[in-house]
């Protein structure tokens, strides 16, 4: 039976410093994300074994952990070292300006979405396949408000485990500095 696997990062754990520390990246990837993968596989094992005795609980576990795995997989790829240029993404830039009027306004809207998550969650940029346009969304935990048939283009984790060691409870500072590590080329590639 196919199992989900923790993806390798395409950069080293200290690459995102000083925006995100090596310590956070190690814990986040090796403990948190690995935990979601493990629990998603465990829930699938129960289903594969045909054990429906606690189906509601198992499906809830699967929804939380599998979406956690998917979101984190996009999150890692949404970032790269802060000293790398972010200029080579003309298609994304154009589409963002069409949809949100200006890049500056998009960043404000996205950042406000991230900052206003109640408790644990995400801000994501989605590709709406219906009208070939962008949407900014908030996701609670890993799965509430999660939409299918939208392509995940960019994901920002605002769970406390993503920033607390570096920023304590100052999520706003984390979100504002996160723009320095966004990998726009990755978003660009997803549009092609
Ligand atoms: Fe996370």
Q: Whole-model pTM?
A: 0.94
- d(CA 67, ligand 1 centre) in Å: 11
Last residue of a domain, one of 49, 77, 105: 77
- d(CA 143, ligand 1 centre) in Å: 13
Those residues with Cβ within 8 angstroms of residue 57's Cβ, 6 or more apart along the chain or in another chain: none
- d(CA 76, ligand 1 centre) in Å: 10
Closest Cα partner for 124 from 105, 145, 97, 95? 145
Mean pLDDT to the nearest integer, 116-136: 91
Exposed, middle or buried by CB within 10 Å (0-12, 13-18, 19+), for 52? Answer: exposed
The strand order across the sheet containing 150-157 reads 133-140, 121-128, 150-157
- d(CA 152, ligand 1 centre) in Å: 16
Asked whether the beta carbons of 177 and 16 are under 8 A apart, the reply is: no
- Structural domain harbouring 66: 22-77
Last residue of a domain, one of 51, 77, 103: 77
Which tokens hold the place of 77? 């790829």
Neighbouring CB atoms inside 10 A of 166's CB total 17
Predicted pLDDT at 157: 98
Q: Higher model confidence: residue 115 or residue 192?
A: 115
Predicted pLDDT at 160: 97
Residues 36 and 57 in one domain: yes
- d(CA 139, ligand 1 centre) in Å: 12
Domain count of the fold of the chain: 2
Residues 184 and 102 in one domain: yes
Residues 49 and 139 in one domain: no
- d(CA 28, ligand 1 centre) in Å: 6
Q: Answer yes or no: is 36 within a domain.
A: yes
> What are 53-96's pLDDT values in tens digits?
999 999 999 999 999 999 999 999 999 998 775 666 888 889 99
Residues 94 and 185 in one domain: yes
- d(CA 72, ligand 1 centre) in Å: 6
Residues 128 and 95 in one domain: yes
- d(CA 2, ligand 1 centre) in Å: 24
111 pLDDT band, cuts 50/70/90, is very high
Predicted pLDDT at 166: 97
Residues 95 and 44 in one domain: no
């Amino acid at each position: 039976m196919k199992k989900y696997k923790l993806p390798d990062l395409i950069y080293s754990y200290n690459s995102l410093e000083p925006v995100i520390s090596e310590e956070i990246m190690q814990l986040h990837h090796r403990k948190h994300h690995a935990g979601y993968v493990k629990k998603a596989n465990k829930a699938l094992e129960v289903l594969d074994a045909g054990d429906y005795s606690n189906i509601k609980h198992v499906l809830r576990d699967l929804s939380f952990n599998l979406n956690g795995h998917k979101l984190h997989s996009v999150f890692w790829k949404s970032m790269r070292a802060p000293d790398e240029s972010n200029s080579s993404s003309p298609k994304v830039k154009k589409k963002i300006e069409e949809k949100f009027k200006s890049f500056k306004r998009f960043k404000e809207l996205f950042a406000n979405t991230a900052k206003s998550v109640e408790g644990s969650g995400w801000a994501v940029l989605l590709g709406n396949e219906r009208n070939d346009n962008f949407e900014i969304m908030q996701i609670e935990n890993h799965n509430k408000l999660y939409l299918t048939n939208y392509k995940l283009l960019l994901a920002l984790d605002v769970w406390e485990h993503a920033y607390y060691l570096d920023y304590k409870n100052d999520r706003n500072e984390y979100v504002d500095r996160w723009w320095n590590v966004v990998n726009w080329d990755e978003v660009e590639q997803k549009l092609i």
